Amino acid sequence: MKTSENLVTEYFENVLDSVGDGVIVIDGQWCITFMNPAAEEISGISRRLAEGSPFSAFFGSEHILTEMVAKTAETGMTISDHENVVLTKGSHATPVNATTSPLLLADGERIGVVLVLRDLTNIRELEEAVRRADRLSTLGALAAGLAHEIKNPLGGIKGAAQLLERELPEGSELREYTSIMLKEAGRVNKIVEELLSLTSPRKLALEQVNLHRVIGDIVMLQKKAAGEKVVAFQQKFDLSIPPIRADESLLTQLFLNLIKNALEAVESGGQIRITTRMVSDYSMTQKGERMSRMVAVDI
């Protein structure tokens, strides 16, 4: 039968086992007397092997942790390091927040050190994501400024080419050059517009779109684009699907990319299957709108 002391000990061990932070208890002889599952996970060290062994046997190479434990054992101070501790598990490095606190008896006698480890991997990833977003924002602003600087003189070049084309007589050899100038100016303008669309999302032009017509037009074009490559397109459409509310330009670009990728991936003699269907077990609602059923397109 368990004594009340054993029950209390078991209770506190269960509490520590449930804590998300790693907890390691080191006694006055620098031996590990307790290690919870979180500490085992963070450090990559088996608690079965660690408990009862010298702290230095498993953490001797972690000089910052060793110094923190030694200073707390000597002075009784609580020490934290949020930046510099990185535990290495094989080839994997885990950044941690480490805190050492004195383990005290009721009369204040120091009998060991409690080391608490908190995994900072997710926090570091979020910090890196924020830094990356800042860099992209700066790059976006630079790209937008550059695009506007190109767009302004480009308009002048295009206007001058149009005037020159009107001045030249029909059949003039020079008109071929103005046609090329206008065509290339249009191409550069399209590139600039795409660059601007990356830096600032354009407003969606939502309208009722016939999904099957959009896909059918793309398939017809890609059949011609395939050239000598023999690829069969199998289209199986659910004709009960009504027109959908979408931006036709973006929808066309989306399916053009998907079908082009499929065409590039399949070998000559292969087949590309495109099916559409209503999804009865999934729906979504936009704020202020009624619930809408979804359409699935498989390519």
Q: Sheet containing 292-298: which strands, arranged edge to edge? A: 232-236, 271-284, 292-298
Q: What is the pLDDT of residue 286?
A: 52
**% of the chain exceeding 90 in pLDDT:** 26
Q: What is the pLDDT of residue 73?
A: 92
Place of tokens 């065509």: 183
As a whole number of angstroms, the distance between CA 265 and CA 255 comes to: 15
Q: What is the pLDDT of residue 292?
A: 67
Q: What is the DSSP string of 229-248?
A: ---EEEEE--TTPPPEEEEH
> Selecting from 3.40.50.300, 3.30.830.10, 3.20.20.10, 3.30.450.20, what CATH number does the domain 4-119 have?
3.30.450.20
Residue 164 is encoded by which pair of tokens? 């020159």
Q: Please provide residue 134's backbone torsions phi and psi, each rounded to the nearest 5 degrees.
A: -65, -40
Place of tokens 């077990």: 281
263, pLDDT greater than 60: yes
89, pLDDT greater than 70: yes
Q: What is the pLDDT of residue 7?
A: 76
287, pLDDT greater than 80: no
Least confident among 34-38, 185-189, 253-257: 185-189
Q: What three-state secondary structure class fits 113? A: strand
| pTM of the full structure | 0.49
Q: How confident is the model at residue 62 (pLDDT cuts 50, 70, 90)?
A: confident
83, pLDDT greater than 60: yes
CATH class of 206-298: alpha beta
Q: Where are the alpha helices (DSSP H) in the chain?
A: 4-18, 37-43, 47-50, 55-59, 63-75, 121-167, 173-199, 211-225, 248-265
Domain ranges (residues) in the chain: 4-119, 125-199, 206-298
Same CATH fold assignment for domains 125-199 and 206-298: no
Mean pLDDT score, 111-121: 92
CATH 3.40.50 fits domain 125-199: no
Q: How far from 296 is each of 39, 192, 214, 239, CA to CA, in Å?
A: 46, 33, 15, 13
**96 class by beta-carbon count within 10 Å (0-12 exposed, 13-18 middle, 19+ buried):** buried
Residue 19 is encoded by which pair of tokens? 């804590």
Q: How confident is the model at residue 171 (pLDDT cuts 50, 70, 90)?
A: confident
Strand partners, 100: 79, 115
Name the residue among 252, 191, 247 with its Cα closest to residue 222.
Answer: 252
> How far apart, in Å, do the first and last CA atoms of the chain sit?
66
Q: Which amino acid is at 19?
A: V
Q: How confident is the model at residue 19 (pLDDT cuts 50, 70, 90)?
A: confident
